[in-house]
């Protein structure tokens, strides 16, 4: 298979649940090469547990399907708004895309952003209308909807003439015409080979490859992933790494990999046009070039988004600290962060000036909350702060902050509300395009304004809005953004909550805890509609004074408490608060727990402000 005509590189674009994983599994099974490893992990592409639960792809992964003497490399596309840059890199690695659409539900707005990128990149499209076995499926109607979408997104004539395949990934069949007999997956394989162009690559030139992604393998460490643009590469080859700063360093290829359903597999040689992985390099990054000749020019460096978000991770020093987690010490947290940095190039952690507190940088708050959730499941207990943006200074010492391009698509009737939301967050709407029932807004917005925006827009549009964003540039500080207009109800003591006390507190604001929950001084147990923090007692053991109720409180009907997810808690807290994360619980609290201590520090800060003014 040392010929580009036997290789095809494609990306899959699909809305959650339209059957991407099932389709890839079926292609792998039909291709036959996975038989040697017969327990094909179900749902090969969603390898992280967390991804399975959230139903989104967090990191783009690759799979190679072998069919006859052909290799089809399939690259997954991340589905979350925080990973816009990764989508762009994926589109540069492939020559075509499979647009997978449910024959019942039709194309969904979430895929629009990725499809638009594919169209802009000039990629060839194959439309797969899946789940035709579903009762009440309407493949013909869905086909019309897809064509409308392609037109709206300004597909070229060639892209608009995309071939269609219909089928049922679940039943392992694909057909080119709805009246064809339903036999197997062959029609899709054939169509991929016929319609997707072979990779443009130069097999006879010296080896060169642009690193498009970094993977991690527990045995070999960092794996540079990319498409070979010219030549070929074998284990033990001596090559050069052209770094982004222009320097070149020598390296030896320790292993060549191809992608399987469950990970990577060694292969003797990587050839031009193929997407492969190479190990043997400690110090490499996305966008750098690997090449056989030192004197060759490196490929143009592909910029990676800078880390613009930072958060603090700290040892849990609260009254319940260490009681619920397996790993709770500063050393354990630091070791875990160091391990993460090796395999996840988008996370950078460092020790802060304060013992037991670490700064964690990433490209989006979603990436950090995924890490926190993973740590929690592994048995860690820790405190995390609200995400903040990484500021810079210009030559004159003025503050600069990161800005993003934001695309947000909402039902027409929600446009006014969403525009208000954007302007409150200092976003400037630059373009507005109306489709049938929806409108796409394009805005430039400070990265600060993106934090928590998704939650608010989902509330506002009843879950019908979709957003994506991409780092744009650093620019002058845009002014204050009020993130929370409410204050908190804080527990003023350590004990268990009682129905009596909570019932009385219901008038004060929304509650975040029910009865019988352990709370402590400085823990946030509810929301005060006014902006200040109000210490309250939620733990009075029995009716005091003249509260008239029968018996021991069993008759009291409390409103259900508001329960926050990890992501939501992280976005909800203010700068002087933490989320306490343990394997069993999520709590929100003040960084300084004792009321007296907080008051003292606030006074000191005020004095400092006045002396500086
Ligand atoms: P995420 O992993 O959540 O991104 O979804 P996905 O797009 O990978 O979809 P997945 O393959 O997990 O399929 C979603 C659901 O649809 C599963 O319950 C599948 O069994 C089902 N499904 C997939 N293909 C078909 C099909 O052709 N027909 C029917 N009836 N169901 C299907």
Q: What is the pLDDT of residue 306?
A: 78
Is there an atom of ligand 1 within 6 Å of 102 CB? no
- Distance, in Å, from the CA atom of 187 to the CA atom of 601, rounded to the nearest integer, reads 70
Confidence of residue 174 (pLDDT cuts 50, 70, 90): very high
Q: Is the pLDDT of residue 81 over 60?
A: no
DSSP state of 36: G
Is there an atom of ligand 1 within 6 Å of 46 CB? yes
Q: What is the mean pLDDT of residues 481-490?
A: 90
The pick from 13, 17, 78 for probing ligand 1's pocket by mutation, whose C-beta has the most ligand atoms within 8 angstroms, reads 17
Q: Is the pLDDT of residue 535 over 70?
A: yes
Q: What is the pLDDT of residue 19?
A: 87
Q: How far is the CA of 88 from the centre of ligand 1 (A)?
A: 25
Q: What is the pLDDT of residue 46?
A: 44
Q: How far is the CA of 17 from the centre of ligand 1 (A)?
A: 5
Which residues does residue 4 pair with via DSSP β-bridges, in sequence order? none
Which residues does residue 380 pair with via DSSP β-bridges, in sequence order? 327
Q: What is the pLDDT of residue 424?
A: 94
pLDDT per position as a tens digit, 204-228: 999 999 998 887 777 888 889 999 9
Confidence of residue 31 (pLDDT cuts 50, 70, 90): confident
Q: Is the pLDDT of residue 436 over 80?
A: no
Q: What is the pLDDT of residue 125?
A: 97
More confident residue, 232 or 4: 232
Specify the residue with its C-alpha closest to ligand 1, atom 19.
19
Is there an atom of ligand 1 within 6 Å of 425 CB? no
Q: What is the pLDDT of residue 557?
A: 87
Q: Is the pLDDT of residue 64 over 50?
A: yes
Q: In b/e form, how buried is each residue of 504-538, taking b as 16+ CB within 10 angstroms?
A: bbeeebebbbebebbbbbbbbbbbbeeeebeebbb
Is there an atom of ligand 1 within 6 Å of 540 CB? no
Is there an atom of ligand 1 within 6 Å of 53 CB? no
Around Cβ 324, how many Cβ atoms within 10 Å? 16
Specify the residue with its C-alpha closest to ligand 1, atom 23.
19
pLDDT per position as a tens digit, 268-324: 999 999 999 999 987 888 888 999 999 998 887 666 677 899 999 999 999 999 999
Strands (E), 319-398: 348-351, 357-362, 382-385, 388-389, 392-393
More confident residue, 547 or 355: 355
Specify the residue with its C-alpha closest to ligand 1, atom 21.
19
Q: What is the pLDDT of residue 44?
A: 43
Q: How far is the CA of 404 from the centre of ligand 1 (A)?
A: 33
Q: What is the pLDDT of residue 303?
A: 67
Predicted TM-score (pTM) of the model is 0.74
Confidence of residue 1 (pLDDT cuts 50, 70, 90): very low
Is there an atom of ligand 1 within 6 Å of 590 CB? no
Q: How far is the CA of 107 from the centre of ligand 1 (A)?
A: 15
Specify the residue with its C-alpha closest to ligand 1, atom 25.
170
Is there an atom of ligand 1 within 6 Å of 362 CB? no
Is there an atom of ligand 1 within 6 Å of 130 CB? yes
Q: What is the mean pLDDT of residues 363-386?
A: 90
Q: What is the pLDDT of residue 78?
A: 67
Strands (E), 267-319: 269-271, 275-279, 289-291, 309-314
- Distance, in Å, from the CA atom of 392 to the CA atom of 399, rounded to the nearest integer, reads 6
Paired tokens of 499 = 């129905």
Mean pLDDT, the chain, as a whole number?
87
Confidence of residue 145 (pLDDT cuts 50, 70, 90): very high
Q: How far is the CA of 146 from the centre of ligand 1 (A)?
A: 19
Q: Where are the alpha helices (DSSP H) in 381-443?
A: 415-424
DSSP state of 412: G
Is there an atom of ligand 1 within 6 Å of 42 CB? no
Q: Is the pLDDT of residue 344 over 90?
A: no
Q: What is the mean pLDDT of residues 58-78?
A: 80
Is there an atom of ligand 1 within 6 Å of 168 CB? yes
Q: Is the pLDDT of residue 550 over 60?
A: no
Q: How far is the CA of 439 from the centre of ligand 1 (A)?
A: 29
Is there an atom of ligand 1 within 6 Å of 47 CB? no
Confidence of residue 39 (pLDDT cuts 50, 70, 90): very low
Q: Is the pLDDT of residue 354 over 70?
A: yes
Q: What is the mean pLDDT of residues 364-379?
A: 88
Give the up-direction half-sphere exposure of residue 142: CA atoms within 13 A in the CB hemisphere: 26
- Distance, in Å, from the CA atom of 342 to the CA atom of 353, rounded to the nearest integer, reads 23
Q: How far apart are the first and last CA of the chain?
A: 72
Q: What is the pLDDT of residue 42?
A: 40
Specify the residue with its C-alpha closest to ligand 1, atom 13.
19
Confidence of residue 53 (pLDDT cuts 50, 70, 90): low
Q: How far is the CA of 99 from the centre of ligand 1 (A)?
A: 14
Q: How far is the CA of 103 from the centre of ligand 1 (A)?
A: 12
Q: How far is the CA of 21 from the centre of ligand 1 (A)?
A: 7
Q: What is the pLDDT of residue 132?
A: 96
Is there an atom of ligand 1 within 6 Å of 78 CB? no
Q: What is the pLDDT of residue 261?
A: 63
- Ligand 1 nearest-atom number relative to CA 134: 30
Specify the residue with its C-alpha closest to ligand 1, atom 10.
19
């Amino acid at each position: 298979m040392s010929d580009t005509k036997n290789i095809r590189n494609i990306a899959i674009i699909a809305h959650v649940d339209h059957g991407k994983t099932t389709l890839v599994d079926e292609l792998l099974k039909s291709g036959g090469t996975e038989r040697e490893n017969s327990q094909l992990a179900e749902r090969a592409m969603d390898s992280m547990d967390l991804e399975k639960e959230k139903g989104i792809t967090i990191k783009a992964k690759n799979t190679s399907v072998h069919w006859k003497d052909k290799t089809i490399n399939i690259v997954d596309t991340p589905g979350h708004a925080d990973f816009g840059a990764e989508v762009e890199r994926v589109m540069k690695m492939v020559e075509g895309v499979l647009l997978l659409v449910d024959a019942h539900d039709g194309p969904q707005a979430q895929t629009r952003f990725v499809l638009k990128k594919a169209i802009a990149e000039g990629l060839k499209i194959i439309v797969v209308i899946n789940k035709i076995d579903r009762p009440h499926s309407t493949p013909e109607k869905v086909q019309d909807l897809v064509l409308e979408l392609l037109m709206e997104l300004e597909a070229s004539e060639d892209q608009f003439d995309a071939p269609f395949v219909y089928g049922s990934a679940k039943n392992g069949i694909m057909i080119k015409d709805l009246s064809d007999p339903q036999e197997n997956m062959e029609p899709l394989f054939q169509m991929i080979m016929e319609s997707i162009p072979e990779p443009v690559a130069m097999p006879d030139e010296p080896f060169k490859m642009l690193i498009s992604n970094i993977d991690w393998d527990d045995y070999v460490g960092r794996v540079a992933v990319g498409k070979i643009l010219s030549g070929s590469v074998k284990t033990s080859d001596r090559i050069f790494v052209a770094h982004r700063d222009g320097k070149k360093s020598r390296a030896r290829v320790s292993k060549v990999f191809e992608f399987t359903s469950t990970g990577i597999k060694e292969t003797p040689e990587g050839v031009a046009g193929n997407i492969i992985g190479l190990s043997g390099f400690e110090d490499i990054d996305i966008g750098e070039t690997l090449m056989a000749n030192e004197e060759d020019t490196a490929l143009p460096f592909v910029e990676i988004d800078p880390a613009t978000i930072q958060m603090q991770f700290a040892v849990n020093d609260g009254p319940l600290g260490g009681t619920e987690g397996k790993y709770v010490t500063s050393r354990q947290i630091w070791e875990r962060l160091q391990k993460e940095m090796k395999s996840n190039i988008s996370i950078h952690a460092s020790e802060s000036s304060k013992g037991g507190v670490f700064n964690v940088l990433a490209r989006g708050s979603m990436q950090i909350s995924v890490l926190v959730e993973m740590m929690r499941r592994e048995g860690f207990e820790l405190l995390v702060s609200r995400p903040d943006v990484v500021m810079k200074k210009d030559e004159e010492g003025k503050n600069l902050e990161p800005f993003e391009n934001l695309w947000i698509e909402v039902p027409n009737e929600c446009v006014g509300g969403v525009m208000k939301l954007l302007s409150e967050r200092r976003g400037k709407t630059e373009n507005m395009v109306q489709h049938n029932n929806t409108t796409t807004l394009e805005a430039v917005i400070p990265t600060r304004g993106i934090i928590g925006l998704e939650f608010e827009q989902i509330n506002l549009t009843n879950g019908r809005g979709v957003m994506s964003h991409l780092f744009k540039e650093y620019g002058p500080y845009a002014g204050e953004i009020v993130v929370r207009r409410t204050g908190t109800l804080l527990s003023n003591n350590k004990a268990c909550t009682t129905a009596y006390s909570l019932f009385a507190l219901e008038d004060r604001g929304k509650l975040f805890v029910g009865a019988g929950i352990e709370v402590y001084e400085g823990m946030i147990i509810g929301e005060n509609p006014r902006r200040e923090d109000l210490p309250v007692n939620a733990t009075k053991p029995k009716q005091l004074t003249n509260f008239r109720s029968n018996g021991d409180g069993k008759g009291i009907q409390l409103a259900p408490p508001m329960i926050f997810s990890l992501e939501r808690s992280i976005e909800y807290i203010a700068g002087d608060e933490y989320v306490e994360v343990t394997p069993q619980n999520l709590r929100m609290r003040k960084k300084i727990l004792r009321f007296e201590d907080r008051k003292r520090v606030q006074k000191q800060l005020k004095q400092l402000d006045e002396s500086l003014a």
